[in-house]
Structure 1
Amino acid sequence: MRNGPAVRRRKLGAELKALRGRAGLTSGEAAGLLGWHQSKVSRIETARSGVKPGDVRRLLDAYDVRDPRLRELLVALAGTEQDGEHRHWWHRYRGVLPPEYRDFISLESQAAWMRTLETSVVPGLLQTPRYARAVTRASLAGVPPAQVDALVEVRLARQEVLRADPPLELRAVIDESVLHRGIGGPEVMRGQLAALREAAALPHVVIQVLPFTSGEHIGLTGPFVIFSFPNMNDLDLVVLDHLTSSLYLERKEDLSAYADAFASLQARALSAEDSLLLLAEKHDDGP
């Protein structure tokens, strides 16, 4: 159980070590190619120290890694916001986003697959502006309007991953209670239900509703997100959100348990087709 930066360093170090091995180099030979001491390579690979994005690029060059998406992901894991070489869109909001949220967005932006269970609200990547505003106001009572505006902007900007090339593959299981909870009032919910139907029609988005009739299930323990990344060795991550922080799980036992839990929830949920029919029914009847 770790925080975001620690997870990134460990995963980055493990992948760089694997790439060095594929290149047929010892840590001493890799260090020699770059004019470094062998201990620097060792510290990077064991996550005992951080690494600048520029040094990651030099290592990737030495290992003849040319895949542009893999290179981008590994450089992002180094934490580009630290060195000023390149800044992503969310860096504009550093004044309002806690580090844990920035880490989450960074991982989300690089993921190939995302599996999510939501038991209280519509997943953030599928929220409409008005729904997102209502959720933000409720969860951060007393926050100044300008900060609420900024957080809603961030929520909507995150959704660009669904329109990227290639887009994020999203698999969402949503408890039926989410469709009944009148967040923002009837008009807001009607718009949100329509948006869910539109999203469900996308080829890279699968939405399944977990009906009340499913009874007790493993999802009662709370929502979670599983990120999977392209071209990486064992990089899946589970993220658990709490009111004031996020926990990142990376042990193989945890990853296996949550992957099995998600598969179980998918099996108990309505099919994608039946879920779409339920969304249409709820939209037509009104929340």
Structure 2
Amino acid sequence: MLHGPAVRRRKLGEELRSLRHTAGLTSREAARLLGWHQSKVSRVETGASGVTPSDVARLLDAYAVRDPRSRSLLEVLAGSAGGGGSEWWHAYRGLIPPQYRDFISLESQASTVRTLETSVVPGLLQTAGYARAVTRASLGGLPEEHLDSLVEVRLTRQRVLRTSSPPRFTAVLDEAVLHREVGGPEVMRDQVQHLMQMSQLPHVCLQLLPFSAGAYIGLTGPFVIFSFPNISDLDVVVLDHLTSSLYLERKEDLDAYSSAFRTLQAHALPPERSLDLISEIGRS
């Protein structure tokens, strides 16, 4: 298990090495095309060092990679692997930790996001009031201006669901999430209404695990699975802890969490019945 940037560097290096082989180039030939030392190409391909998005673009030019989405994903991947970048979240570098920036980068490029939440509404579906209450409680003692900025980050993240090519977002929520009065009754009423509205988007699917489901796999903690198009073996599972996040990318881990999510969906209420229960809880 590694933290996000290390996983991203290794994934990026593996993909760049594969593209170099496809282009029929040796590492020495690739280095000569870019005016680099061969050792730099080797360090990038093994994940020993980061590489900037602009250098990735130069490598992709050398390897004749033309597909825009593949190029964009690899360039953003370089930024999340510790290679810099100019994406919107980098404006908050002094406020949000590297793990959070890495998470946002993955989220912004994923084609599918699957999440289990056992205690709070997923960040992509939170209202401003709910996000403020959650952030204030989890990071007590923050100056008000820092709190404002963190809420702004949370709300800006949500734009990914309104793009022309949004990810398929599937969330399984424990019923307890909607009974926990985060921010008070008015905030929760707004939050429940927002969930109902967001569920109408064709790429958003909400399923509720009712109390009657009893114990279930995943009960001990939430997780997120990011899946990506065009690039093989790039999926990743993210587990959040109090002070850090862990990124799992071994095939065994991905298979286990994907299987667990399918099991959770099978035990959860179907989307239509889930919305009925969400609406009923909102009226209570």
Q: TM-score range by the shorter chain?
A: over 0.9
Cα RMSD, aligned residues only: 1.6
1:118-149: per-residue Cα shift (whole Å, max 9, x none)?
00000000000011111111111111111111
Please give the alpha-carbon distance, in whole angstroms, between the structure 2 residues aligned to 1:80 and 1:272. Answer: 33
**What is the SS of the residue equivalent to 2:173?**
strand
- Equivalent position SS for 1:220: coil
Gaps of 5+ in 2: none
Cα distance in 2 between the residues matched to 1:126 and 1:168: 14
Cα distance, 1:162 vs. partner?
Answer: 0.3
Residue 64 of structure 1 corresponds to which residue in structure 2? 64
Shift, 1:82, TM fit: 6.5
2:167 and 2:194 map into 1 onto residues whose CA distance is 17
Q: Equivalents in 2 of 1:273, 1:123: separation in Å?
A: 19
Query: In the alignment, what sits opposite 2:120?
Result: 121
> How far has the Cα of 1:80 moved from its partner?
7.3
Contact 2:12 2:77 in 1 (8 A): yes
Name the residue aligned to 1:37: 37
Letter in 2 for 1:230: P
Displacement, 1:215? 1.0
Question: Size of the alignment, in residue pairs?
Answer: 284
User: Structure 1 residues 188 and 245 mapped into 2: Cα distance closer, same or farther (>3 Å)?
Assistant: same
Offset, 1:81: 9.8
For the residues of structure 2 that align with 1:231 and 1:266, how far apart are their CA atoms?
26
> Does structure 1 residue 22 correspond to structure 2 residue 22?
yes
- Percent same amino acid among aligned pairs? 68
Distance 1:240 1:81, change over 3 A: closer
**Alpha carbons 2:50, 2:82 under 8 Å: kept:** no
CA deviation vs aligned residue, 1:174-207 (integer Å, no higher than 9, x gap): 0000111111111111111111011111110001
Query: What is the alpha-carbon distance in structure 2 between the residues aligned to residue 231 and residue 9 of structure 1?
Result: 18
Answer whether contact 1:81 1:91 (CA < 8 A) is retained: no
After TM superposition, the score normalised by the length of structure 2 is 0.95
Q: SS in structure 1 opposite 2:219?
A: helix
Greater shift after overlay, 124-133 or 65-74? 65-74
Deviations 1:153-189 (A, max 9, x none): 1110000000112012101000000111111111111
Report which stretch shifted further, 19-28 or 144-153.
19-28
In structure 2, the residue matched to 1:94 is: 93
Residue of structure 2 equivalent to 1:151: 150
Cα deviation, 1:6-34, whole Å, max 9, x if unaligned, reads: 11100100111111222232323323333
Structure 1 runs (4+) greater than 6 angstroms displaced = 80-84
Q: Tell me the amino acid that sits aligned with residue 141 of structure 1.
A: G
CA distance in 2, matches of 1:105, 1:197: 24
Contact 2:8–2:80 (8 Å) recurs in 1: no
Pairing 1:47–2:47 present: yes
Correspondence for 1:167: 166
Which residue number in structure 1 is paired with residue 279 of structure 2? 280
Corresponding letter in the other structure for 1:153 = E
Asked if the contact 2:127/2:194 (under 8 Å) is kept, the reply is yes
CA contact (8 A) 1:53 1:80 kept: no
Amino acid paired to 1:249: L
Q: Distance in 2 between matches of 1:157 and 1:24?
A: 42
Counterparts in 2 of 1:87 and 1:218: CA distance versus 1, 3 Å? same
CA distance in 1, matches of 2:65, 2:158: 30
1:246 is matched with which residue? 245
Q: 5+ residue gaps in structure 1?
A: none
Could you tell me whether the CA contact under 8 Å between 1:80 and 1:87 is conserved in 2?
no
